[in-house]
Structure 1
Amino acid sequence: MKKLIIFLLSAFASLSLSAQNNPMLTPLPNDPAVKIGKLDNGLTYYIRKNSLPEKRAEFYLLTKAGGIFETPDQDGLAHFLEHMCFNGTERFPGKGILNYLQSIGAEFGRNINASTGFEETQYMLNNIPVERASVADSCLLILSEYANYVLNEEEELDLERPVIIEERRSRRNADWRTMEACLPYWFGDTKYATCTLIGQEENLKTFKKSSIDNFYATWYYPERQAVIVVGDINPSAIEASIKKHFGRIPKNENPSADPDIPFPGNAEPSVGVITDPELAAPSVSVMWKSEADPEEHNAGMLGKMNTLVKSIIARIMDERFTDITSKPGAPYINGSFYVGKLIYERIDVAEASVILNEENILGGFRDFYTEIERMRRYGFTDAEYGRAKANIESRNEAAVQKASTRKNAEFIRPISNHFFDHWPILEPKTEQQLDAAILGQLKAEIINQ
């Protein structure tokens, strides 16, 4: 892959992109219909007018903080804090936020939700009716309360503990338990191996208020946060509301650095055998880890090319596995090949996974790994590359054709990817043109390097 990227850097040096040092790192153009701004306190905001569905809007608060930011006494508290945002803020004590949102027709779960990841947390108000301008203003007020004004009152914390513990119990199914058991093999003795998001039950029962308050104060501040509003709204009014509600949050004059965790490399292969009585079928995964390029590279042509090449490789391998498993007497049930991230943005991984027949575990794995070795030794054919290329071109053409009919929710992921990971917010037509330029230079023998 590294050789391929070096080759592509040379091949695309003549493209009409300008930068003093490296044109491949010049940020690609964002969709001009997305208003991007930043407040004096460091908060980023995105506003995109869209009228499908009419008189509805999406409101998001993004925070660059998740489970991996916890200290030992905060185990599970990134997720716990997400729950506390619904249990009392300075302007909405108790269940005031839920009561207001339900009064305008929103439902918890369907329209009101949040999500905690290993490196990021999102709060969302989905498909909110905004016939009245005051509703949009109130939604932004609520997001600003999440951002800086959660109370974490002792009584509410104690009421929420059994809720979180029950969620932990229900979440830890066979797949989740298997993931937890895999962590030491993936990440060795680094902090990555101990982060489970939901936390250990003992800490959830006994943590002190100061622990969750410290997490909130340390990682929830404007420079780490962004607001997204997409929908049938007045962009100028939305911008004014953002400035009014989020501008009152003070700038963090002493921001904390991200946790400094060493890359979890291993000199020798790490092999684990994991069992669980509830797993439906035996499976094997083989991973090759590497340290990711800086996220800033995602913004330019280099990031676009890297993503496209990974997509081509995965498509071709999935085609091979589908061809094998669709035939009678297939040696294994399902095979897949993934090239992307291993949970964390700084860890790239190529992962080959196979679901095996109980009666032919070793034979099935041997045949599966033979396909991986065939890829490594001989690469791909021109015909395979041609089909993957045609598939990408067809996908892009479909995206261009439906661009004017996109619903509000479809804009959220590209915008959040811009904030979290520096990916450009590309218009479908722009993406089609960029991919066509790259695909026009690529061929199987280049990828096979």
Structure 2
Amino acid sequence: MNIIARSRLTHSLALILALAGGWSVQIHAREVAPAAATAARQEAPRPWLYENSDVPIDPAWLFGELPNGLRYAIRRNTVPPGQVSIRLRIDAGSLMERPDEKGYAHFMEHLTFRGSKYVPDGESKRLWQRLGVTFGSDSNAQTTPTGTTYALDLPNASPAGLDESVKILAGMMTDPNIIPVAVDAERAVVLAEMREGTNVGTRVGDATRALFFAGQPLGSHAPIGTAETLNAATAATLKAFHDRWYRPANAVISVSGDIDPKAMEALIRKYFSGWKATGKTAPAADFGKPDADAPTSAVVVQPGLPTTVTVAWLRPWQPKADTIVYNQRKLADMVALQMINRRLEEAARRGTASFLQASVDVQDVSRSVNGTFLSITALGEDWEKALQDARAIIEDAKRALATTQEIDREFAEMETVLAIGVENQDTEPSARQASDLVSAVDIRETTVSPQAALDIYRSARAIMTPDYMLEATRRTFTGDATRAMLVMPKAQPNAEARLAAALETPVEAASDVRLSASTVTMDDLPKLPPAGKVVSDEQLGTSGIRQIAFANGVKLMLFANDAETGKVRVNVRFGHGMLDLSPRQVEPTWAANYVLAANGIGKLGQREMDDLTNGRRLGFDFGIDDDAFELGALTRPADYKDQLRLFATKLAFPGWAGEPVERAKAGLLAAYDVSSTSPNAVLGRDLVWLLRDKDMRFRTPDKAEISALTPDRFKAFWAPILASGPIEVQLFGDVKPEEAVAAVAETFGALPARKARPVDPANAGIRFPAHNDRPLVLTHDGDRDQAAAVIAWPTGAGLDDTREARQLDILAQIISDRLFEKLRAVDGAAYSPQATSDWPLGFGKGQGYLAVVSQLKPERIDYFYKLVDEIAADLASRPVSNDELQRTLAPMAQLLTRASTGNAFWMSLLEGGTQDPRTITAMQTMMRDTLQVTAEDLQTLAAKYLVAGKSYSVTVLPKGGE
């Protein structure tokens, strides 16, 4: 299972580790008595996943192995109902490639999906759609340095559909269409993917990987490959790579879903038993080990990125027996690391260090190194002081024992994560279970039940003594090789030599960085008035949803149900969102997501709030909707009452600490120039603002506006918003109804009646820009072969015609499919063209849009516009075929069916329902509006909206290429 309580990584380190093959920590910790484990081994052979391990076997899995060496694991899981998730992993990634084969593992992934024994060339997408599979999400694949995993989520796995799908997967593995015409066609797609994926981050990632893993294949083998090797690839060379690595002994199939495991086992045996390896078995790839004699430091000057330093202490990766003791020590090491991360974070918050952010992490990277990584984002350009400050905090951790209270605090935090896994195990989706198992195979470890993971973690507390934690900390910061990478937006004199010197220079241990024991409890929150009274309580039809009003005007939508055991979703909507903002001036809304959670409640600051919430499942998500501001959290039955209290006291007694404002400003300013470094970044910054006719509510602030924000200005803007306007509380999930009503009465129901905040009529509408005959040209600072094009048409807004809004989603999906077929599958001109529909429901008047967006080479821009015009004209002139319509509706129906089994789906549909009854009506017609669309409906919509004389277009070109 994944341990998700981990330190945060800077962008550069996250990127390098992700490119190196995924950096999520897999901890497979289980506890059984040694004698019992020995007896179990004597009674029966342990399944293949658990060989050389004494962890308890997860009995939910059926393990097996075919005579040809293919291994499989299958379990029954009905979340979501009817779905079967299949993961087929081949132990062949970029590290298995020869120098002239760079990118072949990923190229093979593309070819395998393109066509195979039972799939004509280019028909794969259509075939899966007819089975209700959404291409790209339900059917996909990923190539990493150590493997290639094919993922298939069958949303409605009928016996016939499952039989057909397993047969197709077998044909993909044994006999893909590796023929010249397919290779040439897919080569263009892979090169388009490389072009669109290349950016400042990948360039830094390549440089960091080359430094950290110098002398190892990982240092020079990114999964995407190189243009040289991809252009040189032929059907013969790719076939040779396939024969060498696509062998049953290198394959693992993991299946979780709504199926009898024995029936699934029979299908695997039926279609995969005949798979026979071709040619000689390749020797195991040598991934090498860290080279102590390689250069220790490097500098990358990359305009647009903030100044960052990443230090790595590298050790050889060694296969380890996945034993109980091994996992106990690994978990204890993680707790030791988290103590350091908390100290680093506190120093950044207080502003006592010269870094904006710093964290440490330990990772096994692509079976190549075991490394400790220190990531630092400097405040300004003084990276030397930032490095010194972070190292000083680490030096203090290496010098003196931690207190028992510190250990207990971090132990409780991680224990909560694992306990939540136990509470939510009945709602763990099949896709995650199937993926977790092949991830365990990838790192050569095991997988167990959530309860077993929690048990072994709790048993590890005994070894987490101050002495052990000190030894673990010292061990963590040693290695066979030490490396440091400095990334800066502009050159500095002698930077590399200074970096090497800074790495070698001893630092004094920091003082006064250790955190005192916490004494903060919920009783320290500001007191609320007595509980409010319920004045109405109504059932929403026969759905089980209740609408409850309190005397102070607060309205509650309560849906108590056990669809997601152990989960409670809380969403608080207050005020009027975008309707409370002026379209003519920039307001500090951009800072709210970073600041409102961090500036505390009453006299309690962020540090006290951390202590208050430690060991609890309490959250603070903030968002701005069209017609409301929102506070959201996913909590649990034991914590939801306190979650409600946190949100209520936040509105009634907000804290206004200044440090979070200054930190948010520093972070946004440091990363601001990234928004100019690629076509996608430019569109992310400007497109919605342009398509909203330069409405200032949708504009990204410039550097001057960010710099000008002060804590007083932030408070002056947000204080009246937090204090006024209507409140709607949505509470969905595993709660007892009357207890939930009482909990809301004691929190939101107890608030004083809110002041009315009328909406300015000038704020009530949104506009689409006037038609332009020639595209507006924007520029980016990235590669000269990167460009992007957008064309959009105005549609509608509001709740009065949600049927049309939902049918426009279907029209957009059909346009996306046609673009995929032409731009990607046939021409290879683009990797991920797409069309989207935006019909804002919160604006009573205004215009949404249907937009088509694609990255391309600059010379293909005109072709893009011509193609989109042809698609639009064709859709308006004649109905789509029944096959095309059903290939769109079948996956959509399955997506909606799956989503409707969870509370998040219904919460999103019912947002604002206590204020506007039309929301309830729109919810009731959701399925019908979406799925009962006809080809004639779509033709009518295309003729109505895809009008050439109303479109607005934007082109993003490399600077100097206008």
Q: Aligned equivalents of 1:271 and 1:309: distance in 2? A: 31
Q: Is structure 2 residue 226 aligned with structure 1 residue 203?
A: no
Task: Specify the alignment match of 2:789 in structure 1.
Answer: none
Return the letter of the residue paired with 2:440: H
Task: Specify the alignment match of 2:94 in structure 1.
Answer: 67
SS of match in other structure, 2:85:
strand
1:112 CA displacement = 1.1
1:395 CA displacement = 1.7
1:225 CA displacement = 0.4
Match of 1:184 among 188, 207, 210: 210
Residues 424 and 193 of structure 1, relative CA distance in 2, 3 Å threshold = closer
Q: Is structure 2 residue 314 aligned with structure 1 residue 289?
A: yes
Residues 38 and 405 of structure 1, relative CA distance in 2, 3 Å threshold = same
Shifted more, 33-42 versus 204-213: the winner is 204-213
Q: Which ranges in structure 2 are unaligned for 5 or more consecutive residues? A: 1-30, 40-50, 472-962
Return the letter of the residue paired with 1:68: L
Contact 2:210/2:219, CA 8 A, preserved across alignment: yes
Question: Where in structure 2 are the equivalents of 1:80-95 lying within 5 Å?
Answer: 80-95=107-122
Match of 1:116 among 143, 147, 151: 143
Residues 413 and 384 of structure 1, relative CA distance in 2, 3 Å threshold = farther
SS of match in other structure, 2:109:
helix
Return the letter of the residue paired with 1:311: M
Contact 1:25/1:301, CA 8 A, preserved across alignment: no
Q: Is structure 2 residue 338 aligned with structure 1 residue 315?
A: yes
Question: Where in structure 2 are the equivalents of 1:170-319 lying within 5 Å?
Answer: 170-251=196-277, 254-267=280-293, 270-279=296-305, 281-295=306-320, 297-298=321-322, 300-319=323-342
Residues 137 and 413 of structure 1, relative CA distance in 2, 3 Å threshold = same
Q: Aligned equivalents of 1:379 and 1:345: distance in 2? A: 32
Match of 2:348 among 325, 330, 336: 325
Task: Specify the alignment match of 1:144 in structure 2.
Answer: 170
1:268 CA displacement = 7.2
Q: Aligned equivalents of 2:38 and 2:283: distance in 1? A: 29
Q: Is structure 2 residue 186 aligned with structure 1 residue 164?
A: no
Q: Aligned equivalents of 1:429 and 1:414: distance in 2? A: 16
Count of residues in Structure 1 that have an aligned counterpart in Structure 2: 431
Q: Is structure 2 residue 370 aligned with structure 1 residue 345?
A: no
Return the letter of the residue paired with 1:285: T
Question: Where in structure 2 are the equivalents of 1:355-370 lying within 5 Å?
Answer: 355-370=377-392
Match of 2:428 among 393, 397, 406: 406
Task: Specify the alignment match of 2:399 in structure 1.
Answer: 377
Residues 178 and 95 of structure 1, relative CA distance in 2, 3 Å threshold = same
**Which protein has the larger Cα radius of gyration, Structure 1 or Structure 2?**
2
Return the letter of the residue paired with 1:79: H
Task: Specify the alignment match of 2:161 in structure 1.
Answer: 135
Residues 81 and 34 of structure 1, relative CA distance in 2, 3 Å threshold = same
Q: Aligned equivalents of 2:311 and 2:173: distance in 1? A: 40
1:14 CA displacement = 8.3
Contact 1:381/1:444, CA 8 A, preserved across alignment: yes
Return the letter of the residue paired with 1:388: E
Q: Aligned equivalents of 1:135 and 1:293: distance in 2? A: 42
Q: Aligned equivalents of 1:265 and 1:383: distance in 2? A: 40
Q: Aligned equivalents of 2:248 and 2:152: distance in 1? A: 19
SS of match in other structure, 1:358:
coil
Q: Aligned equivalents of 1:372 and 1:121: distance in 2? A: 37
Q: Aligned equivalents of 1:126 and 1:229: distance in 2? A: 10
Match of 1:125 among 142, 149, 152: 152
Contact 2:289/2:316, CA 8 A, preserved across alignment: yes
Q: Aligned equivalents of 1:264 and 1:362: distance in 2? A: 25
Q: Aligned equivalents of 1:262 and 1:14: distance in 2? A: 37
1:253 CA displacement = 7.8
SS of match in other structure, 1:152:
coil
1:310 CA displacement = 3.1
Q: Aligned equivalents of 1:379 and 1:197: distance in 2? A: 43
Residues 346 and 232 of structure 1, relative CA distance in 2, 3 Å threshold = same
Residues 178 and 221 of structure 1, relative CA distance in 2, 3 Å threshold = same
Q: Aligned equivalents of 1:192 and 1:422: distance in 2? A: 18
Q: Aligned equivalents of 2:248 and 2:448: distance in 1? A: 25
Residues 306 and 138 of structure 1, relative CA distance in 2, 3 Å threshold = farther
Contact 2:178/2:239, CA 8 A, preserved across alignment: yes
Contact 1:42/1:251, CA 8 A, preserved across alignment: no
Q: Aligned equivalents of 2:124 and 2:199: distance in 1? A: 32
Return the letter of the residue paired with 1:28: V
Taking structure 2 as the reference length, the TM-score comes to: 0.43
Task: Specify the alignment match of 1:441 in structure 2.
Answer: 463
Return the letter of the residue paired with 2:74: I
Shifted more, 362-371 versus 209-218: the winner is 362-371
Match of 1:30 among 57, 69, 88: 57
1:381 CA displacement = 2.9
Q: Deviations over 1:293-332 (max 9, x none)?
A: 324x12x113312431232133212211221112246521
Contact 1:118/1:344, CA 8 A, preserved across alignment: yes
Q: Aligned equivalents of 2:215 and 2:455: distance in 1? A: 44
Contact 1:31/1:425, CA 8 A, preserved across alignment: yes
Return the letter of the residue paired with 2:425: A
Q: Deviations over 1:174-220 (max 9, x none)?
A: 11111111223212233332211111112212222221111110001
SS of match in other structure, 2:354:
coil
Return the letter of the residue paired with 1:62: R
Return the letter of the residue paired with 2:226: Q
Return the letter of the residue paired with 1:36: F
Residues 249 and 38 of structure 1, relative CA distance in 2, 3 Å threshold = same
Residues 48 and 195 of structure 1, relative CA distance in 2, 3 Å threshold = same
SS of match in other structure, 2:59:
coil
Return the letter of the residue paired with 2:442: F
Residues 269 and 310 of structure 1, relative CA distance in 2, 3 Å threshold = farther
Task: Specify the alignment match of 1:9 in structure 2.
Answer: none
Contact 1:59/1:230, CA 8 A, preserved across alignment: yes
Q: Deviations over 1:319-359 (max 9, x none)?
A: 11221112246521111101112x32241001111011124
Residues 221 and 338 of structure 1, relative CA distance in 2, 3 Å threshold = same
CA RMSD of aligned residues (A): 2.3
Match of 1:391 among 413, 430, 435: 413
Q: Deviations over 1:18-60 (max 9, x none)?
A: 559xxx9643122101111100000011111011111111111
SS of match in other structure, 1:198:
coil
Return the letter of the residue paired with 1:57: V
Q: Deviations over 1:265-292 (max 9, x none)?
A: 214761111121232x111111111113
Match of 2:437 among 415, 421, 433: 415
Match of 1:56 among 71, 83, 86: 83
Return the letter of the residue paired with 2:422: V
1:417 CA displacement = 3.1
Give the structure, 1 or 2, with the largest relative contact order (CA under 8 Å, sep 6 or more): 1
Contact 2:68/2:273, CA 8 A, preserved across alignment: yes
Contact 1:88/1:150, CA 8 A, preserved across alignment: yes
Return the letter of the residue paired with 2:177: L
